[in-house]
């Protein structure tokens, strides 16, 4: 078999129309190589136009967008603007990446982890309301914010979550970092709550190499976020500060990349949907593997940032008997992998041996096939935090895995990946 380059899970790529180069060159030519400038302003307007126009028209939208250094920074500032502070609690989806919960701790608050429902794999509204009422009974006050996550680009049950949030007067910060362009009932995720978080990390739908943005309901909220993102400097001719601010503004160079990427965003979303459909078709013939699909309810319109699947526990995978026998000694995390030495190959919450064997087998075929997110309430760093779950996300972590879905993934790549899975199951 001919040598193949590694097929990564999801890496946004630069478009071939050279728009990124044009805007980045303009930044250098005009000496705007700072965390502000024409590209930042234009990129914010591009994003606002996108989120405001891509809706069902039932409610005219006029959201404002502030570009920031990362999606994590966007979560942090959104929670700060919601009044989260030391001693407060925030309801956060457990089944997700740590960027949703870590900012809670930056503010001296505590995450309250909410389990998932099986249909979308996102925050369970029933468990959310149970948690809200129980925290009120135990602490005497309601949580300060709610952070649902569009896991792998799948829309959350936003109508039910918003109804609960409105019932108890709790602001919602939508973490749509993985769900840029995903819609619920014809409306872009991130436009329902008080704030909506976007990410432009290198593996997202579009990239600025790093970076993120916050969708705000109005200009007043956007101005407050911008103030905090630029060190909270008051309007004097000298530096005066009445609050602690942060250096979270996006650079003009990165924003230039983002402006170019906006020209291919719709194409990227269409490609991800096409890859998902092809996986659904090709994996349908395999017994024991189940591709994660969006609900049949027509209101759900996922971008399929990543294609996720589950593997039945009784499916045998080549090399399964050797799973977890040795500590991982190579970098983990794909192209941007990191090393941190550990002493044991196992933890008390990990994927099944056949899922780990599949990951190793596929890596040997130069295909990334990572586990799904490990639930945050099972992370050692959050030991002792309140969690409201019925075990859905823990069960999914044991049997779930992700398949490559980025703009570089071709139809032939998908066929190759499925053929490798078939080989692993022999």
**pLDDT class of 8 with cuts at 50, 70, 90:** confident
Please indicate, yes or no, if residue 134 is contained in any of the structural domains. yes
Mean of the per-residue pLDDT values for the chain?
92
Torsion of CA 175, 181, 184, 189, to 10 degrees: 30
Question: Do 220 and 318 lie in a common domain?
Answer: no
**pLDDT class of 202 with cuts at 50, 70, 90:** confident
Read off the pLDDT of residues 155-177 as tens digits, 9 standing for 90 and up: 999 999 999 999 999 999 999 99
Question: Do 78 and 219 lie in a common domain?
Answer: yes
Question: Do 233 and 159 lie in a common domain?
Answer: yes
CATH number of the structural domain spanning residue 125 = 3.40.640.10
Question: Do 227 and 272 lie in a common domain?
Answer: no
Q: Tally the domains of the chain.
A: 2
Please indicate, yes or no, if residue 13 is contained in any of the structural domains. no
Please indicate, yes or no, if residue 175 is contained in any of the structural domains. yes
For the cut 90, the answer to whether the pLDDT of residue 343 exceeds it is no
Question: Do 170 and 289 lie in a common domain?
Answer: no
Question: Chain-centre distance of CA 49, in angstroms?
Answer: 21
Please indicate, yes or no, if residue 2 is contained in any of the structural domains. no
Taken in order 337, 343, 346, 347, the sign of the CA dihedral is negative
Amino acid 149: pLDDT: 98
Given 241, 264, 287, which residue is the final one in a domain? 264
- The percentage of residues in the chain with a pLDDT greater than 90, rounded to a whole number, is 81
Question: Do 274 and 251 lie in a common domain?
Answer: no
Please indicate, yes or no, if residue 8 is contained in any of the structural domains. no
Question: Do 290 and 227 lie in a common domain?
Answer: no
For the cut 80, the answer to whether the pLDDT of residue 263 exceeds it is yes
**pLDDT class of 1 with cuts at 50, 70, 90:** very low
Question: Do 418 and 329 lie in a common domain?
Answer: yes
Please indicate, yes or no, if residue 14 is contained in any of the structural domains. no
Question: Do 241 and 312 lie in a common domain?
Answer: no
Q: Which domain holds residue 313?
A: 266-424
> The pTM is what?
0.93
Read off the pLDDT of residues 230-254 as tens digits, 9 standing for 90 and up: 999 999 999 999 999 999 999 999 9
Amino acid 163: pLDDT: 98
Question: Do 279 and 230 lie in a common domain?
Answer: no
For every residue of 244-290, DSSP letters joined together read ---B-BPPHHHHHHHHHHHTTHHHHHHHHHHHHHHHHHHHTTSTTEE
């Amino acid at each position: 078999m001919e040598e193949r380059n590694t097929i990564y899970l999801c890496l946004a790529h630069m478009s071939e129309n050279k728009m990124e180069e044009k805007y980045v060159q303009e930044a250098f030519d005009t000496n705007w190589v700072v965390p502000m400038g024409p590209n930042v302003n234009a990129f914010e307007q591009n994003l606002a136009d996108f989120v405001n126009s891509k809706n069902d028209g039932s409610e005219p939208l006029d959201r404002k967008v502030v570009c920031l250094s990362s999606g994590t920074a966007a979560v942090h500032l959104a929670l700060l603007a919601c009044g989260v502070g030391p001693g407060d609690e925030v309801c956060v989806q457990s089944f997700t990446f740590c960027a949703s919960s870590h900012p809670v701790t930056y503010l001296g608050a505590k995450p309250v982890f909410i389990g998932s429902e099986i249909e979308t794999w996102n925050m369970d509204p029933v468990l959310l309301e149970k948690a809200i009422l129980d925290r009120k009974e135990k602490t005497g006050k309601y949580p300060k914010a709610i952070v649902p996550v569009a896991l792998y680009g799948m829309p959350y049950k936003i109508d039910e979550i918003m109804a609960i949030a409105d019932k108890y007067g709790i602001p919602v910060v939508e973490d749509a970092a993985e769900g840029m362009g995903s819609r619920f009932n014809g409306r872009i995720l991130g436009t329902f709550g008080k704030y909506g978080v976007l990410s432009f990390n290198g593996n997202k739908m579009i990239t600025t190499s790093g970076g993120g943005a916050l969708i705000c309901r109005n200009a007043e909220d956007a101005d407050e976020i911008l103030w905090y993102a630029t060190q909270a400097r008051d309007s004097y001719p000298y530096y005066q500060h009445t609050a602690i601010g942060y250096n979270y503004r996006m650079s003009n160079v990165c924003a230039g990349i983002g402006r170019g990427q906006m020209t291919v965003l719709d194409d990227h979303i269409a490609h991800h949907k096409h890859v998902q459909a092809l996986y659904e078709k090709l994996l349908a013939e395999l017994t024991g593997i189940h591709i994660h699909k969006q609900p049949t309810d027509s209101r759900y319109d996922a971008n399929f940032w990543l294609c996720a699947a589950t593997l039945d526990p009784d499916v045998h995978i080549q090399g399964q008997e050797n799973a977890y026998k040795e500590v991982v000694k190579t970098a983990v995390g794909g192209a941007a992998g990191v090393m941190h030495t550990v002493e044991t190959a196992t933890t008390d919450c990990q994927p099944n041996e056949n899922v780990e064997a599949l990951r190793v087998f596929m890596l040997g075929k130069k295909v990334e096939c990572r586990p799904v997110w490990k639930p945050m309430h099972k992370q050692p760093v959050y030991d002792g935090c309140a969690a409201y779950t019925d075990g859905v996300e823990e069960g999914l972590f044991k049997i779930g895995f992700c398949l490559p879905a980025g703009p570089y993934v071709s139809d032939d790549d998908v066929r190759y990946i499925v053929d490798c899975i078939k080989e692993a199951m022999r």
